[in-house]
A and B are shown apart, each in its own frame.
Chain A
Amino acid sequence: MSYKSKHGSTDKRKQIIIIVLILLLLITIGITVWTLFFRDTTPVLAPDYAPQQTEENAEPIDDDTDGEKLQQQQGGGAVSLTYSKEVTIDLSDNVAKLLFANPYKSNQDMMLQIVIQDTVIVQSGLLTPGHQVTKLELFDNAKLSKGTYEGKFVVLYYQKDTGEKAMINTEIPLTITVEE
């Protein structure tokens, strides 16, 4: 191969590498700009009517399938909450391990959110009286790292007959441990 053609092909290779690097740089800048200015970070809004789907991870509470209901005033509501204030999140399978129960004596269906720094990272389906959850799946956009967070349960109540959201809700401060 002649000196000229050898150097010519080397220069051409260099040009291709430079073009590829510039393209990669532009793509990276584009992703950064989108993340900073255009990504949708609006919080998840709780529905005004009960979710149609029952929470798939809900389990019946042992020995709590019948008995007396709490008394409630007409037009009002009555609930019982049983819960633990410690939650563990396993990032390897994107699951939150917790204890939250809606005992049979409640007159309302419930929906449970886990909130960290004003971001909803978990939202359950409908939890009917007599059922509890010990694990819930995280939203895909939950960005957490190993460590401990202060968060809260937000518990929303829905009328069993109309599905309408009650005008009272409950918040419970939590300690959330994130493991990899």
Chain B
Amino acid sequence: MKKLLCFLMVVAMLATVSTTAFAATVETANGSDSADVKAKYNSTTPADVYSVDVTWGAMEFDYNAGGQKWDTENHKWVNDEAAPAGWEVKNSSNTITLANHSSKAVDATFAFDANAEYTDLGGSFTYNNAALNAPLELELPQADTAAKNYVVSFNPNGSIPATHSATAYAKIGTITITLG
């Protein structure tokens, strides 16, 4: 009895479920009517894509400790002003080249950190023969064109101790490129 009652109640509930429908009355034979079809445009902004190429040279430098000459009057070695201490780049290996393939411009900044024990050593960066003291903007690449190459040069300054390797090129520090 209970099962029969439940069945009848379920049927009654189903009968009350309705679906919204629209209808129009066509009052003439072979007539027609129309209804509007609607749609909505949803635009999606794609996320920016960042892609940058970085190439760098061997970063090998010769530090020339500077010449000395014999002071015949005071009987001692003194610095030769004609041959001062300084740095030479080997094989033009001091360049860093960047190319931006991103969907936005990218700012690049450069920093040199000398090895902890080389307290008298520093370095600087130049772009187009001018000192690079601010972020370098890698422009938004133009559609259907090759990305522009930005060539930055690094030059060490200061000095390294005589205990540094004299037979092979050994690491003196690290360059960090920040892409913002």
A residues neighboring B (CB under 8 Å): 70-86, 103, 105, 166-173
Contacts and interface: CB of A to CB of B under 8 A. Distances in A.
Contacts of A170: 54, 176-179
B171 A167 contact: yes
Given A167-B171, A168-B175, A80 B52 contact: yes
A9 B49 CA distance: 75
Contacts of A168: 54, 56, 59, 96, 174-177
Contacts of A70: 53, 55
A167 B178 contact: no
Given A167-B59, A168-B54, A73 B171 contact: no
Of the listed residues B53, B93, B180, the one surrounded by the most CB atoms of chain A closer than 10 A to its CB is B53
Given A170-B179, A171-B178, A73 B57 contact: yes
Q: How large is the interface on B (under 10, 10 to 19, 20 to 34, 35 or more residues)?
A: 20 to 34
Interface class of chain A by DSSP: strand
A170 to B, nearest CB: 5
B114 to A, nearest CB: 11
A85 B47 CA distance: 10
B55 A73 contact: yes
B51 interface: yes
Given A167-B174, A170-B179, A76 B59 contact: yes
A84 B57 CA distance: 27
Of the listed residues A74, A77, A168, the one surrounded by the most CB atoms of chain B closer than 10 A to its CB is A168
Nearest to A86: B47
A74 B95 CA distance: 12
Contact of B180 (A73, A82, A166, A173): A173
B9 to A, nearest CB: 44
B174 A76 contact: no
21 contacts: A71-B55, A73-B56, A73-B58, A74-B58, A75-B57, A76-B55, A76-B56, A76-B57, A78-B53, A78-B56, A80-B51, A81-B50, A81-B53, A82-B50, A83-B51, A86-B47, A103-B51, A167-B59, A169-B174, A169-B177, A172-B180
